[in-house]
Amino acid sequence: MSGDTHASGTSTTVDRYLETIYCVAGEGEVVRPSRLAQWLGVSAPTVSDAVQRLERDGWVTIAGDRSVQLTTKGHAKASSIVRRHRILERWLTDTLGFDWAAADEEADRLSSVISDDVIERIDESMGSPLTCPHGNPIPGRTPSYGRLTTLADLEPGTVAIVRRISEVAEHEARALLLSLHEIGVAEGSHIVVSAHASLDAHLMVEIDERALALPSASAKWIWVETVEVSSNDPSAIAVSP
């Protein structure tokens, strides 16, 4: 495969494909060449050729239905790539004050040129965070949240805590990341879907007691953990089992 070589020894192209396969699979999708082409913005023949080379080099396996899975070797490499990116995102937002969308773009640029030693120092300086700024787990670490559901699947009146923003939104809807950051939606925000959605394709919600209108299409990218509200004390909540 063509592409500049990273400090890790693999090419930019290989890293992009492995990271994409990891992220798409992490959202529960079956990874197919058409999805990779859509995500990477390349042609179907380009993806087919690239995936065959990845299989040849032991990074992936291709099933009879053309779905693609990372091998043990491929998963280890992809995990390392994603880990670097998410640690850098956390550093760029928490320490340097970048907004979510800008941090995602800068992490893309930096991850291929910063050494492993620097990544480890950055990680240690932040106390080894469990997630990226959008709540997605840093590989090798397990966040404390339980079973998640999308905001789109919540019944009106359900109380929930925002836990993560989908990788799909990170890649395909960076404007959404910026919008959520600007209105203060973050990991740990409390959210309630109002009883009635508006007629203009917006979902009416309360986030940390502020009324907001979110595009209905965005709700499927916001993962939440439902909570129970005490009937005796509405201000007291507990995470649902």
pLDDT at residue 204, rounded to an integer: 82
The predicted pLDDT at position 241 comes to 44
CATH H superfamily, domain 149-239: Ferrous iron transport protein A (FeoA) (2.30.30.90)
pLDDT at 200: 60
First CA to last CA distance, the chain: 47
- In this prediction, residue 233 carries a pLDDT of 47
Where in the chain are the domains?
A: 12-70, 149-239
Segment holding 62, helix H or strand E: strand 60-62
Integer-rounded Cα radius of gyration of the chain: 19
Task: Read off φ and ψ for residue 57, nearest 5 degrees.
Answer: -90, 5
For 12-70, CATH number? 1.10.10.10
pLDDT for the residue numbered 153: 87
From the first residue on, what is the mean pLDDT of each consecutive set of 10 residues in the chain (241 residues)?
53 92 91 92 94 97 96 97 96 93 89 93 97 92 87 89 83 69 80 68 80 79 83 48 44
Q: Most distant CA pair in the chain: distance in Å?
A: 64
How confident is the model at residue 99, as a pLDDT?
Answer: 85
Give the C-alpha separation, 61 to 55, whole Å. Answer: 6
